[in-house]
Structure 1
Amino acid sequence: MRFSSNCLSALLTLTLFSVSFAQEKVQPVRMGAGIMTFDTVPGWGLRPDGHSAIGATHGGVVIDKAGNIYTSAKAGVFVFSPEGAVIHSYLGEDYSNLHDIEIRSEGDEEFIYGARNQNAEGIKFNAHTGEIVLHLPYPEESGLGKIKFSPTAITVAPNGNIYLSNGYASNHIFIFDKEGKYLSHFGEKGNGMKQFNTAHGMTLDTRYEPNRLLICDRNHQPKGRLLHYDLDGQFIEEVITGLGMPTSVSIQGDYVSVPDLQGRLVILNKRNVIMAVLGHNPDPKKGGNYNVPQDQWVEGIFSGTHGSFWDASGNLYIQDWNVDGRIMKLVRVK
């Protein structure tokens, strides 16, 4: 077969373009250790044009029974397929600025509970319809007087009681019943053993029976820590210290993932021993920095890790606190 000079030139150009594209394509990065080894999924959660689909993020991640991934951003809540495409969203004032989210199955329905620090409330809404069924404002009946109310974390006990942490203000944790009636509160701001210096994240620790509250004391000095309290608000123990700035906690089986705002994610086992450290950012100017634009994101290195969640296969979805809105998928290596 004979080629003209024009055909040869076009073929050479196409070949060079293909080589250049292949060189520019981001490759997966392997991280972790042992049974907690993961591969990143480059481009997961980006639009077809390569840009972030969600905008500025300061929130959390949860997954419903169908395997869809929900992440909260400044603009609202975005729902992704496991492949990384946006399939739904709840946008606008009613769903904006959800700093922390948890999901619970109740009967045939699934509900998302959220802590809204900028809107001074907790909320509960149907994960599949968006219907808001409960608002939790500051409980004036608590007897604490007029205080700033800036909730950072929310979780739910097996009996339906709701725990809402005033982590950006007084550091009290308020307990409501499932209907939203105020029951009690515990905790206070400080740096003592039974005090919170920013009770930033919280979840129900199902690794133990009876279940406990696992609380991130983010700014405790000299380094951030996790604490256990029982469901009546009684102190149990200091779980682990030296975690940097732990922002939230997510449980799967015997394991817990702990995002650190300084740019990494720590995985603990049931004995609360560190199993792996993922995405550590060695640059002190980038770790814990909200203003890292998308063109400076580095595959496999986090910046302001804020929320995480496990799927049924043990994969992790992680959100950075980020001006352009970064959410990542890590696939567990079997």
Structure 2
Amino acid sequence: MMRTSMYFALAFTFVPMLQAFSADEAQPVRMGCGMMTFDTVPGWGLGEDGKSVLGPTHGGVVIDSEGNIYTSANMGVFVFSPDGKVIRRFLGDAHSNIHDMEIRKEGDEEFIYGARNAAGEGIKFSAETGDIVLKLPFPQESGLKLKKFAPTAITVAPNGDIILSDGYASNHIFKFDKNGKYLTHFGTKGNDLKQFNTAHGMTLDTRYDPPRLLICDRNHQPKGRLLHYDLDGNFIEEVTTGLGMPTSVAVQGDYVSVPDLHGRLVILDKSNTIMAVLGHNPNPKTRGSFNVPQDKWIEGIFSGTHGSYWDKDGNLYVQDWNVSGRLMKLVRVKE
């Protein structure tokens, strides 16, 4: 059943006292409500000088089986330990501008799948070494004639099939087998029920059996929404609407985190009802803005929320689309 999101959920969110960001002076801010209450960790992931190490961010977040956090920035991929120290980097043209990531364990090794909008490809690389083992360029076998190919989201089916969304161009969603062979595509650009107006984010929704695709239709009019499709590209339902500009989705158990580019993160339960809203930005001048430098960050207030991921303890890591490069850790408050 389709659930319509309600902005009144903000009324149940802790409102942090506004404090300009300083790694040395900022205090933790509590946000959310009920079982989805979190504390921020001021200064997490910053360098020894208190400055961001990332450079501009317009990407995603994933976590490996050891709890290490991977985030993609314009210049490449940075890997942090849970306490916020950089333990390795994959920098340069091959790993730059990864807009979305998924991580999968295959045998004894973990691999990251990335959608690179600027480079016009999907990639698969080792989470340990960064070695690229597969590239997914535009599939000429599809017979389509596109002026542009700009993938924004990627996910992997249980059988290894790879699903890649051309969210910044045609809004077709392409399906490949595990070796990169083109299989099919579905979806078109538009504002009808079964069309996409920026199929921006996507993941495998494991809250259901069998799993299905959960897709962010970010610019759908009149309001952004989430959709369910099966793994063969068949429409199932409109999941929820009124989410502003949903950019990505991350699932843990019965819960899904949905960053909204308008400067907040929404958490839904299995019935797709809002449980909590985190980091809501009430300022129209900075909400949805890339150009909020580090010295203008406000602890507990997001600006252009773009990527998120859960760790095994239910903590959240959230990336802003941000000129200085912002990645935040939110620690789940135990009941």
The normalised TM-score by structure 2 is: 0.92
**How far off is 1:147 after superposition?**
3.1
Q: CA RMSD in A?
A: 1.1
Look up the match of 1:153: 153
1:94 is paired with a residue whose SS is helix
The size of the alignment, in residue pairs, is 313
2:103 aligns with: 103
> Would you say the 8 A contact 2:227–2:238 is kept in 1?
yes
| Cα distance in 1, alignment partners of residues 216 and 171 from structure 2 | 11
Aligned twin of 1:258: 258
- State the partner residue of 2:227: 227
Q: Specify the SS of the correspondent of 1:58.
A: strand
State yes or no: 1:40 paired with 2:40.
Answer: yes
Cα contact 2:310–2:316 (8 A) shared by 1: yes
CA distance, structure 2, for counterparts of residue 48 and residue 57 of structure 1: 20
Which residue pairs with 2:71 in the alignment? 71
Distance, in Å, in 2 between the alignment partners of 1:129 and 1:313 is 26
* 2:294 alignment counterpart: 294
| Cα offset, 1:25, TM superposition | 1.6
What do residues 142-193 of structure 1 show as CA deviations (whole Å, max 9, x unaligned)? Answer: 0112331000000000000000000000000000000000000000000000
- Secondary structure of the equivalent of 1:213? strand
Name 2:332's counterpart in structure 1. 332
In the other structure, the counterpart of 2:18 is none
Q: Counterparts of 1:1-20 in structure 2 under 5 Å? A: none
Identify the residue that residue 193 of structure 1 maps to in structure 2.
193
Report the 3-state secondary structure (helix = DSSP H, G, I; strand = E; otherwise coil) of the residue aligned with 1:60: strand
How far, CA to CA, are the matches of 1:193 and 1:143 in structure 2?
A: 25
Q: Residue type of the partner of 1:250?
A: A
CA contact (8 A) 2:146 2:170 kept: no
Which ranges in structure 1 are unaligned for 5 or more consecutive residues?
A: 1-21
Q: Partner letter of residue 178 of structure 1?
A: K
SS in 1 for 2:59: coil
Tell me, what secondary structure is at the counterpart of 1:295? helix
Aligned mates of 1:147, 1:228 — CA distance in 2? 28
Distance 1:97 1:34 in 2: 36
Task: Give the fraction of aligned pairs with identical amino acids, expressed as a percent.
Answer: 77
**1:213 partner amino acid:** L
More divergent stretch after superposition (138-147 vs 231-240): 138-147
5+ unaligned residues in a row in structure 2: which ranges?
Answer: 1-21
Task: Give the equivalent residue in structure 2 for 1:279.
Answer: 279
Mapping 1:125-136, distance limit 5 Å: 125-136=125-136
2:57 and 2:246 map into 1 onto residues whose CA distance is 17
Please give the secondary structure, in 1, of the residue aligned with 2:94: coil
CA–CA separation in structure 2 for the residues paired with 1:290 and 1:318: 15
**CA apart distance, 1:228:** 0.0
CA distance in 1, matches of 2:288, 2:48: 28
- In the other structure, the counterpart of 2:177 is 177
Deviation, structure 1 residue 33: 0.4
Letter in 2 for 1:196: F
In 2, Cα distance between equivalents of 1:244 and 1:104:
29
* CA–CA separation in structure 2 for the residues paired with 1:260 and 1:225: 11
Structure 1 residue 129: deviation in Å?
Answer: 1.1
> How far apart are the structure 2 equivalents of 1:182 and 1:280?
40
- Give the Cα separation in 1 of the matches to 2:175 and 2:308: 24
More deviation in 67-76 or 145-154? Answer: 145-154
Secondary structure of the equivalent of 2:295?
Answer: helix
For residues 126 and 280 of structure 2, what CA distance do their matches in structure 1 show?
A: 35
After the TM superposition, list the runs of 4 or more consecutive aligned residues in structure 1 that deviate by more than 2 angstroms: none
Amino acid across the alignment from 1:184: T
**Structure whose CA Rg is larger:** 1
CA positional deviation for 1:30: 0.2
